Amino acid sequence: MALSASKLKVGDVHSARLVEDLKRTQIVQYAGASGDYNPLHTDEIFTTQVAGYPSVFAHGMLTMGMTGKMLTDYVGDARLTKYGVRFTSQVWPGDTLDATATVKAINNGLAEFDVSTKNQDGVEVLSGYAEARIDA
Amino acid sequence: MAAKTFPIEAGHILMFARSVGDDNRVYSDADYAKTTEAGGVIAPPTFVQSSAQFDPDYFLRPKVGQPWFGSGKNPTGIVRAPGGGGGGGGGGGLHAEQHYEYHLPLLAGDVLTATTFPGKTWEKEGKRSGKLVFSESVTEYRNQKGELVVTARGVGVRTERPVEQPAKKEEA
């Protein structure tokens, strides 16, 4: 399952659809599993009337978690050594997200990747990097 | 995260993996997981975020007998919503960055101990949300053998006002 250095080259791109038409229920699932019950993510009344946003929005960590699936499907289980992101735009119910990992460097049994997740309008919602152990 | 002890439970991993839409059996099927390189059920890469469940004081969870800022009879349960790391009312806090370093696989059955260190604080003027105040914290998660398993660095941002919506391409 893991990647091998002999078959990988700088510039290779792996992409995956993370979610199509993100449902509020999935955001509720993430709130329950992660323990982050911030009403901004699940409570439409609070979020629109008190916080001043147009609707509830996803936890940044839900996007990072979904993007993590793209990475682990690509590099293999328990192979990541680093994974870091900036949340560059909010993710809303109804969004469709696609993520890509682009090989940036390969050396000493490690591969580095640029990571990016975009919504259906092409707006980047997450920007980051990852590093994984690869086979020879 | 101020969770002192964080038991890595298989059922919790299952729920967490489901919530991020990850159906990889290495997170849910112990027999299958034994046959993989991981050698057992492991936790997904962002799982340690759920250590919040084991933090008795985590401020983004309603607590018995205490006011909660989400809606009930009224749009908010308290007059002034709290802000901070994860968020709050008005121009409250948002999660700006999250970084992980993985030192060892995180296996179901491990028991982690978390130690959090405060990091830097800095300010920036944002186009869509006024003054931004960033603050960083670093958490080290060690297993029952005292081995460092995951290092997590989070950056929260408090905004002066809610992030404006139309110009989605700029940074929050």
Q: pLDDT digits over B40-57, tens only?
A: 999 999 999 999 999 999
Token reading at A10: 């700088």
What is the phi-psi region of residue B65: left when phi exceeds 0, alpha when psi lies from -120 to 50, beta otherwise? left
Nearest CA in chain B to A44: B71
pTM of the complete model beyond 0.95: no
**Residue-wise pLDDT tens digits, B92-139:** 578 999 999 999 999 999 999 999 999 899 999 888 778 899 999 999
Q: What is the predicted ipTM?
A: 0.97
- Please give the Cα distance from B7 to A107 (Å, whole number): 35
3-class state of residue B112 by DSSP: strand
Hey, is the C-beta of B25 within 8 angstroms of any chain A C-beta? no
Q: Which of A42, A65, A76 sits opposite B44 (nearest CB)?
A: A65
